[in-house]
Structure formats: structure tokens, C-alpha cells
Structure 1
Amino acid sequence: MAVPKRKTSPSKRGMRRSADALKAPTYVEDKNSGEMRRPHHIDLKTGMY
């Protein structure tokens, strides 16, 4: 069974967990309709990319 040789320091543990946080989705204003939409996603109302 694999067992760690050394105790993981709080700093190293924090660096490992730094990517676990949830990020709020980003939105951009649509040039045609002026509504907010996700970048690189199709606008559901107009069908434009």
C-alpha cells in the first residue's frame, strides 16, 4: 500500500488545492442584440456564433 514518506506542508497542500475553486462564468455583450452571452457559444435567440 502506498504511504507518503513526508507530511504534506500546508503550503504544498494549498498549492494543490488552488485549482479546485469554482470560477464564475464569463459573459460578453453580443454585438447584434446587445444581450449577454458566453464567449465562443452560439446565441440561442439569433443562432449566431
Structure 2
Amino acid sequence: MHKKSRARTRRRRAHWKATPPLLVKCANSACSLPTPPHAACRHCGMYRGRQVLPPA
């Protein structure tokens, strides 16, 4: 087994890009802060129109 050259290793790692986190606007019209999709809003505690967490 041969050692992989630095160029080959770097070429393989060239596609390892970090992607920004996906955020959507909170469905609560009073809040409207960016929130991850399919998750309760950390600020107001709403998820799909229901209060699921205590407000922060």
C-alpha cells in the first residue's frame, strides 16, 4: 500500500464544504424569527400552530 500524495488527498477533500444551516421563518406571526425546519421555535415555543415549549 502506497502513501497518498498531498495533492490526491486535497483533491478528494475539495468537496468537503460546510453548508449554512437551513432556517425558515417562525409560523407565529408575533415572533417570525428564523428557526430550523421541523423544530419548535426556541424563542416563542410554537410548533405547527401549537404551544409545545414554555416561552423563553
Q: What is the TM-score normalised by the length of structure 2? A: 0.46
Looking at secondary structure, tell me which structure has more strand per residue. Answer: 2
Higher RCO by CA contacts (8 Å cutoff, separation 6 or greater): 2
